[in-house]
Structure 1
Amino acid sequence: MSSSRTDQSGTENGVGGAAALGSIAKSSPTSLPKVEKAARAQRYQALSHSRGWLKPLAKKNPNKSYGWDLHRTQDCRYKRVGIGVTVQYDAKHQTAFYGDVATCGSVWACPVCATIIQNRRRPEVQQLVDWAYEQGYQVSMLTFTFPHKSFDRLKFMLNSQADAFTKLRKGNSWDLFRKRFGFVGLVRSLENTHGANGWHPHTHEIWVTKSLTPSSRGDFEQFVKRRWRMACIKAGLLDDSSKSQSFAFDLHAVDVRFDVSTSDYLVKQDNSRKWGVDREMTAQSAKVAPDGVTPTVHPHEFLIRRQEGDDARYREYVTGMHGKRQLYWSQGLKDLCGLKDVSDEEIAKEHAEKADLLAHLTDTQWNIVRGNDALAELLDAAEQGGWPAIRSLLQSLGHVFLEPDAHDPLFEINLSLFAPDQQI
């Protein structure tokens, strides 16, 4: 939340007051741990800051009432899409969230949606790994990268990377490899960080194959490394005439780990954290560099640290990653392990069928919350004490409540918005 408060106040008519006062949850909320609250507050602050940085990406559109097409993340958790913003509580995940607000579902641009999506995707990867071992398959994790320099443009690298992967998995040699090692399918996680050498796009992939003997594992690894080297040369990502570049490529470009599981500790860019394979595949936005090392950060960190040039880097990242999928599954692999295909946008909406309604905010109340950058703080209050805590927070922000007139017909009509078991 912002350290400064805007001095806003408002009065409610019978309708608005009834909407708020009539919202009582069926169960008592449980509060998130302090660390998780702090992280959520930081994500909401980053989302708030992104709105300004995304403005240069707006495009003129005379068909829009305001004449512009804004980036969808600018409306995320900000624009009302229903008759009024609701505050709801998901007992299963022990979190409060907003209903009837726009959600962008962008895992690249939005630090709030990205976390929700990644947390929901993690069990999918876990289910795949568990299923594979139950079927007697081999589960391996492969990481692919390539040389890059600080002046390399992100869009060029991403296009060349995609070209290299096409070349890696094409032709008779690849078909023979699939047959020999009983290749079932893969899940690819695209990740992009930024550091001293500029953009660092790379992938973590889970490959499901038949069980491999110790001798066949060596052949497996050597084929993949040779194949990726050839693909990167053809795609213009590796200059094989440079001895130093070739040496570094052979040393770092491919990492193969066999027999991975959801409990494996894969230490990558953050030596202070230990990641299971399911976290490694989904939780990109949580990685930072260890102390004493030149920072290698996820682009959402730009929105938090705000160093010179970070605004341009963030926009380059958002535009460069547009249309890319964070998690790609081989065709038919989800069906094999019993997973339903759900889009990022659907996950970001946080389906509320089983959630408890805590509050129905009026436009005045919502504007006060937005104006004070208090979205995360209101969710904290909702989880801590339900509607009474929400009301107390709104009052601390300068909102003035007027008790509704129970004889006002508008007040009585508004009560029909709530379920019969809710009380005033």
Structure 2
Amino acid sequence: MDPASGVIVAQTAAGTSVVLGLMRCGRIWLCPVCAATIRHKRAEEITTAVVEWVRRGGTAYLVTFTARHGHTDRLADLMDALQGTRKTPDVPRRPGAYQRLISGGTWAGRRSSDGARHRDREGLRDRIGYVGMIRATEVTVGQVNGWHPHIHAIVFVGGRTEGERADKRVVGVFEPTENGLKEWQDQWRSVWTGALRKVNPAFTPDQEHGVDFKRLETERDANDLAEYIAKTQDGKAPALELARADLKTAAGGNVAPFELLGRIGDLTGGVPEDDAAGQGSLEWNLGRWHEYERATKGRRAIEWTRYLRQILGIEGGDTEDDDLDLLLAADADGGELRAGVAVTDEGWAAVSRRALDLATVEAAEGTDGNTDPAAMGERVREVLALADVADAVVVLTSGEVAEAYAAMLESLALRREEASARRRRENDDQDDDTDPAVLEERARRHLARRVGTPQE
């Protein structure tokens, strides 16, 4: 993150070790390391949101959406049908079945000629008190039935709201009527199957399996989710079901994408096919992984409806930058740091080239129970000597570790601020392409970059 600061390998009070100061790719779809941390943090957010809403007296549902699929269907086509197409310079974005659920007069209500929405013109969202939802997309694949993308959503209902968009707020809660809930569920099932049928009749699920609703009855239901998030591999707790796709072993002969990756690693590493986890040949797994990479590019794995976070008082966002911030926060959440070593930028580059980064982390943890900073530093130096960079290590006490990491974060924040200011200047340059003063100033900057000094 900060070449001037290098990297800090620190030992926690729990006896584990963390590496501070490394940028992460943050690819939730493709990176097992980053995905595990991001999804864990997202699951914590989801649990907090559900607990808060149930505590207020609201109602939440876990809703699962699926499409019919076969072994010849392309993942990109199925994802387009569910999530919508991605916008390109030449082709406008086309909504998917998911976007159709929360659009139209039946759902949103109809306005009268004066622009107001009277009670007799209310839509389904008003009758059930729809507040918003959190959507997560999961993908599995099998040799028999092919790709199986599906959407899990936690839907918050039973809220009385005032205001629109950024000013929207909850002013009360109520229990939706049974007739209202049935009307809503029937409507979503009808819209979902109809939208998929319009894209491709072969994708049309039956009414029983296309959309599944599970109500979260009590605050206890929501609180119990936290017990499963970190330790359950294939649990059905709603927050886990929503966010922790990285932990799942797919059912019905299917495998999750990271299981494809694991089998690829085993087979290319010399493990016999019968002993490697997963299914299929190396060629089949590589083909499916490459297709998965292309189909998920530019898509969000987990997304909250707009303004839901502010309504529930949950900070953060769903962008790639927000994912990177979660990774940064996770690095700092390792607990109390009792000792560490600082490794220079050049030193860590040499460690990585020699593939000694894991050995360095293990040396910081130690196996002999000796937590003395000097002993830890000596263990790390022995590893770094293999990369000829033993002199690139500085042993730090607990206070020095915290101080060094704070300085590193401050440097990162400053660079982000400078980058943001630079982007604002560049956007300002594009605001008016005809103003002579703007054109002249832009020319001066361009020439200054090319020759080093402004020119007439």
Q: Tell me, yes or no, whether TM beats 0.5.
A: yes
Is 1:285 matched with 2:285? no
Query: Judging changes above 3 Å, is the alpha-carbon distance between structure 1 residues 252 and 382 closer, same or farther for their aligned structure 2 residues?
Result: farther
Larger Rg over CA atoms:
2
Query: Counterpart in 2 of 1:177?
Result: 124
- Give the letter for the 1:360 counterpart: A
Query: Judging changes above 3 Å, is the alpha-carbon distance between structure 1 residues 157 and 415 closer, same or farther for their aligned structure 2 residues?
Result: closer
Query: Counterpart in 1 of 2:153?
Result: 205
Q: Tell which deviates more after alignment, 271-280 or 187-196.
A: 271-280
Once the two structures are TM-superposed, the CA of residue 128 in structure 1 deviates from its matched residue by 0.9
Is 1:100 matched with 2:21? yes
Query: Judging changes above 3 Å, is the alpha-carbon distance between structure 1 residues 200 and 421 closer, same or farther for their aligned structure 2 residues?
Result: closer
Once the two structures are TM-superposed, the CA of residue 166 in structure 1 deviates from its matched residue by 2.3
- Give the letter for the 1:276 counterpart: A
Is 1:273 matched with 2:237? no
Whether contact under 8 Å (1:127, 1:337) holds in the other structure is no
- Give the letter for the 1:288 counterpart: T
Query: Counterpart in 1 of 2:81?
Result: 160
Query: Counterpart in 1 of 2:214?
Result: 257
Query: Judging changes above 3 Å, is the alpha-carbon distance between structure 1 residues 179 and 324 closer, same or farther for their aligned structure 2 residues?
Result: same
Once the two structures are TM-superposed, the CA of residue 305 in structure 1 deviates from its matched residue by 0.7
Distance 1:214 1:112 in 2: 44
Query: Judging changes above 3 Å, is the alpha-carbon distance between structure 1 residues 103 and 81 closer, same or farther for their aligned structure 2 residues?
Result: farther
The 5 Å alignment of 1:9-158 reads 81-89=3-11, 96-158=17-79
Query: Structure 1, residues 118-153: CA drift from partner, whole Å, max 9, x if none?
Result: 111122111111111122111001000101122222
Query: Counterpart in 2 of 1:218?
Result: 182
Query: Judging changes above 3 Å, is the alpha-carbon distance between structure 1 residues 145 and 119 closer, same or farther for their aligned structure 2 residues?
Result: same
Query: Counterpart in 2 of 1:3?
Result: none
Query: Counterpart in 1 of 2:406?
Result: none
Instruction: Give me the identity figure in percent.
Output: 25
Query: Judging changes above 3 Å, is the alpha-carbon distance between structure 1 residues 154 and 140 closer, same or farther for their aligned structure 2 residues?
Result: same
Structure 2 runs not aligned, ≥5 long: 84-95, 109-122, 159-174, 265-281, 403-456
Query: Counterpart in 1 of 2:364?
Result: 382
Higher-RCO chain (CA-CA 8 Å, sequence separation at least 6): 1
Q: Tell which deviates more after alignment, 110-119 or 333-342.
A: 333-342
Whether contact under 8 Å (1:190, 1:327) holds in the other structure is yes
Distance 2:107 2:3 in 1: 49
Task: Specify which structure has the higher proportion of helix.
Answer: 2
Match of 2:313 among 333, 338, 356: 338
Query: Judging changes above 3 Å, is the alpha-carbon distance between structure 1 residues 378 and 215 closer, same or farther for their aligned structure 2 residues?
Result: farther
The 5 Å alignment of 1:403-414 reads none
Query: Counterpart in 1 of 2:87?
Result: none
Query: Structure 1, residues 388-414: CA drift from partner, whole Å, max 9, x if none?
Result: 45743663686288997xxxxx99xx8
Is 1:231 matched with 2:195? yes
Query: Judging changes above 3 Å, is the alpha-carbon distance between structure 1 residues 308 and 340 closer, same or farther for their aligned structure 2 residues?
Result: same
* Number of positions where the alignment pairs a residue of Structure 1 with one of Structure 2: 322
TM-score by length of 1: 0.65
- Give the letter for the 2:39 counterpart: Q
- Give the letter for the 2:284 counterpart: G
Whether contact under 8 Å (1:89, 1:383) holds in the other structure is yes
Query: Counterpart in 2 of 1:56?
Result: none
RMSD: 3.7
Match of 2:301 among 326, 340, 358: 326
Query: Counterpart in 2 of 1:349?
Result: 328
Whether contact under 8 Å (1:106, 1:345) holds in the other structure is no
Query: Counterpart in 2 of 1:358?
Result: 340
